[in-house]
Structure 1
Amino acid sequence: MLKKIDGFILGLIGMIFLAWIFPQAGVYKGAVNLEVLTDIGIALIFFFYGLKLSPQQMKEGLSNYRLHVLVQLSTFLLFPLLVLVFLPLMQTEEQYILWLAMFFLAALPSTVSSSVVMVVLAKGNMPGAIFNASISGLIGIVVTPLWMGLFWKVEGASFDFTSIFQSLLIKILVPVIAGLLLHRYWGALVKRHLKLLARFDKTVILLIVYKSFSNSFSSGLFSTVSLLSLLIVGLASVALFGLVYYCIAWMAGRMHFNREDRIAALFCGSKKSLVHGTVFSKVLFQHVASQGLFLVPIMVYHAFQLIIVSFIAQRKGQEVVE
């Protein structure tokens, strides 16, 4: 598992390097360009995601409302509030942009596939994990732009919530609904090719990362951001995971969750989705020079959460066996 994770993380780093030395393909505006290709790729990602969703599994996880409340409040309220407390410390425009990138990470929905896989590995509440991880992405279509709109103060870039919401509906919700409607016909076929679909998802993500960083490098953004600032953002992303994980563990204990629900809450509530992060950044920051910068925290967080949660899940799964 770690080899696969490492390969994708290396791919993300490789796309940043490629965008640095050869940004031309990322900013090309011809008839067939990365903008068009990634838009098609995004629609297919969420169409296949809808095909994979089982209505029966969703129903099984629906009744556990206390678990749902904890996971969704952790994802869309606890995360943003923990980052929000640092806003008064931001004194310069560079600091504010870096803080906004961290806030974007905090406002994102939970990841789907890896959350469910980790919960299964740790022998937790799988139906509850499937429901929460799935519904989180749909809630994020509304909540993430709302959070970002409250603090959007980037010079030369407007934030039109209506057009952003419409774009997210078309690119995410419509394909998901189409996939759900066709699940009974093609769902079994899709489940037989999950590895192939995972490669497709990662390819689209890599293309979006390359395009985003091509725009940022072409505009000279990273020449104005210090290496120390980027290092601080990386360390802050890791620290945020640890703090949220501890808070969820404490709240699950106070709510007297059983072992299975506690694992589902920990793994679903502390995760952030790189898929949604890249897609949302493409919509929210499409005409912003700092688009690549907004992906730095989520890429660091993604790498760290997969490695550390994989280790935790394996340990918790072994506890049951022992």
Structure 2
Amino acid sequence: MRWPRRLPIDPFIAALFGTVALAALIPLRGTAAEVGRVAAQLAVALLFFLHGAKIAPRAALAGARHWRLHAVVLLATFVVFPLLGLAAAPLRPAVLTPELYQGLLFLCAVPSTVQTSIAFTAIARGNVPAAVFTASFSNIAGIALTPLLVTLLLQGSGEVRVSAGSIGTVVLQLLVPFVAGQLSRRWTAGWIERHRSLTGRVDRGAILLVVYSAFSAGVVAGVWDEVSPGRLIVLIAVVAGLLALVLGLLHAGGRLLRFDRADRVTILFCGAKKSLATGLPMAAVLVQPEALGLLVLPLMIYHQIQLVVCAAIARSWADRAPPTPARTDA
């Protein structure tokens, strides 16, 4: 396999772990913690408003007709992943602490990414219109499906408690801003397109604020005393193994179901990815602050590993792609 010249160690990922270190050294306490929590909630609402305003329904619908491909990606994201998470239950507590195992389950309930799924599909010369639709639809469906899966997988499993009121909070804090963003596209889409760098900074700033608030609460509550360097190494190995297993299943499944090469590329990159940008804000809404830090740690690690691995795979597939361009229809 030919590796890319530069592995995508995203500066934003470095900023995330820098924020974790800052929270460990200077955690928010008392009134500052409450102000940080409210600010994080407002930032999350703004983030989902921007997501709604940025997604163009007509562009995404260009690939909507390929229902078999979309069904495979949705099943991988919201059925296969949760089943694999449940199958990992014997790892608790000898390999993973109960809190880290809950984080693994949460990772399995998060929707796919949008931007990087489409980008890697394009690099590997896959079915880009289908990738646009299936990745966007995964995020939209995840607004409803992820809270439901989190409730089913994590309810009553220790420190993580998902109440019925959390679902209403999801509607008010995530779905309502998203729908408002969609409805505002007539007035906001052009402005957002002209200020991509600004909206990108808002996205990243909102996530960093959520991480700082969450990890501060974890530090104050003392939950990080339970994570040793050895546990962290084991967690990295488990998360990497999960990614390898899903990639293998999707690669074999695409061939078994007789998808052509372009569709197999799309299935691989859209079905195996997990969205940090969507998962962290959802966790902030659904989970108690003191339990949030450990819960999102597996997702943060998975996100970085998937970038490195999928970049290598995309470059390899691009080098072996036929000379004819990828098809543009669904």
Q: Under a length normalisation based on structure 2, what TM-score does the superposition of the two structures give?
A: 0.89
Q: How many residues align?
A: 318
Q: Is the 8 A contact 2:54 2:192 kept in 1?
A: yes
Q: Which residue is 1:14 aligned to?
A: 18
Aligned-partner Cα distance in 2 for 1:156–1:110: 26
Q: Which residue is 2:192 aligned to?
A: 190
Q: Is the 8 A contact 1:208 1:278 kept in 2?
A: yes
Correspondent of 1:111 among 113, 119, 133: 113
Residue 291 of structure 1 pairs with residue 309 of structure 2: no
Aligned-partner Cα distance in 2 for 1:267–1:250: 14
Correspondent of 1:135 among 134, 137, 141: 137
**Residues 55-134 of structure 1 mapped to structure 2, 5 A cutoff:** 55-91=57-93, 95-134=97-136
CA RMSD in angstroms, aligned pairs only: 2.3
Q: Which residue is 2:263 aligned to?
A: 261
Aligned-partner Cα distance in 1 for 2:269–2:89: 27
**Residues 1-322 of structure 1 mapped to structure 2, 5 A cutoff:** 5-24=9-28, 27-29=29-31, 33-91=35-93, 95-150=97-152, 151-155=154-158, 158-160=161-163, 162-287=164-289, 289-320=290-321
- Superposition deviation, residue 40 in structure 1: 1.8
SS at structure 1 position matched to 2:31: coil
- Superposition deviation, residue 164 in structure 1: 1.4
Cα 1:158–1:312, aligned 2, differ >3 Å: closer, same or farther? closer
Ranges in structure 1 where 5+ consecutive residues have no aligned partner: none
What whole-Å deviation, never above 9, does each CA across 1:151-193 have from its counterpart, x for those lacking one? 3334465421x31111112222212212222223332332233
- Superposition deviation, residue 214 in structure 1: 0.6
Aligned-partner Cα distance in 1 for 2:74–2:158: 32
Aligned-partner Cα distance in 1 for 2:225–2:75: 37
Q: Is the 8 A contact 2:53 2:178 kept in 1?
A: yes
Q: Is the 8 A contact 1:48 1:176 kept in 2?
A: yes
Cα 1:242–1:148, aligned 2, differ >3 Å: closer, same or farther? same
Letter in 2 for 1:152: Q
Ranges in structure 2 where 5+ consecutive residues have no aligned partner: 324-330
Aligned-partner Cα distance in 2 for 1:94–1:77: 22
Aligned-partner Cα distance in 1 for 2:201–2:14: 14
Q: Is the 8 A contact 1:49 1:179 kept in 2?
A: yes
- Superposition deviation, residue 85 in structure 1: 1.1
Q: Is the 8 A contact 1:42 1:172 kept in 2?
A: yes
Q: Is the 8 A contact 1:94 1:225 kept in 2?
A: no
SS at structure 1 position matched to 2:116: helix
Instruction: Report the identity percentage.
Output: 34
SS at structure 2 position matched to 1:33: helix
- Superposition deviation, residue 88 in structure 1: 3.8
Cα 1:30–1:216, aligned 2, differ >3 Å: closer, same or farther? closer
Q: Is the 8 A contact 1:115 1:129 kept in 2?
A: yes
Aligned-partner Cα distance in 2 for 1:20–1:148: 27
- Superposition deviation, residue 321 in structure 1: 7.0
